[in-house]
Structure 1
């Protein structure tokens, strides 16, 4: 500190405390994200004096596109999702979700996509481009791949119903390197590290987004077939009585 004082002593420096910017930040936020700003600032048609019915200002207004990036992470610490919603002005709305239930990689991709679409609907997005680096999920939702299993089909139908609620929306696949802006968020979400989050919102999901799929176990009556002798030999070391069958059985088991 003494060295700095000597070095800076030759300059006429004065200290002024920084003024508060909270009020201006709030005013800027309201100006950028007010949903009624178009009604107040833009007039598409002037009211006619001939008594024509009023024109809805927002009916033909060209809504801009929003961009959504979503990704998931599943590791030993848990599972989580990272969401980045980019406004038409370039502002980034980031969110992290931690899953407190067991999910596979495919289920986590669907959960991340479902939660991100719900957030976009709550914000009031009309036109949306959702981007994911999961080729499997993107092709299943768009109809390119067939959903395998009842659980995956429930997830796929849920995403399709959410996409239909937008005025215009589509799901695109992107390479992982182009989706790197959510990699850090998804890893934080899987570990639920609130220290690193800062101002990023953290959500905790207790249960899956789809109902639980019930699997009923059926008991089959065992029937003897050509595999019975092989099964008994491998499991219990049982041999048939015919020596010729024993030689044939050993030959089959070796294959």
Structure 2
């Protein structure tokens, strides 16, 4: 079972404000598999973070991955997904529910909180989407 590392980030200019999601996939050898940069429109930072997770999970399903290590600089997302924090916000509850449904499609998923310094590339992709107000998936074979 190969392990895939996925770095996710949501970015927001203003809160709420223009937002974007950035996602980067790496194989076991540390080689980049793909990256995603997606404009989300008007959202809060936490909504953008959840959207980046959902985007990553959908892409992982699409390319047939099943053993995921997901890294986020959002302590809130990591703790909510891992069951340490309750989800109180109504909008976040919907996104949380969607993420949890998607998680059932994988053999193994671990979500871990990391520092912003460890997540710079995903952050850059998210900010690019915000600034350009667009963004598409970019795949590396």
Same topology, TM > 0.5: yes
Which of residues 123, 127, 132 in structure 1 aligns to 2:67? 127
In the alignment, is residue 69 of structure 1 matched against residue 7 of structure 2? yes
Greater C-alpha Rg: 1
User: Distance between the aligned counterparts of 2:133 and 2:39, measured in 1?
Assistant: 10
Tell me whether 1:96 sits opposite 2:37 in the alignment: yes
Contact 1:163/1:170 (8 A) holds in 2: no
Length-normalised TM-score, structure 2:
0.87
Unaligned runs of 5+ in 1: 1-62, 195-200, 204-255
Q: Secondary structure at the match of 1:130?
A: strand
> 1:88: Cα distance to partner?
2.3
User: Aligned to 2:43, what secondary structure does the other structure show?
Assistant: coil
Match of 2:100 among 160, 171, 182: 160
RMSD: 1.8
Q: 2:115 aligns with which of 175, 180, 183?
A: 175
What is the CA distance between 1:176 and its match in structure 2? 1.1
Specify every segment of 5 or more residues in structure 2 that has no aligned partner in the other structure, as ranges: none
Distance 1:192 1:165 in 2: 32
Q: How does 1:198-217 map to 2 (within 5 A)?
A: 202=136
Aligned to 1:206: none
Name the SS of the counterpart of 1:79 in structure 2. strand
Separation (CA, whole Å) in 2 of partners of 1:181 and 1:151: 27
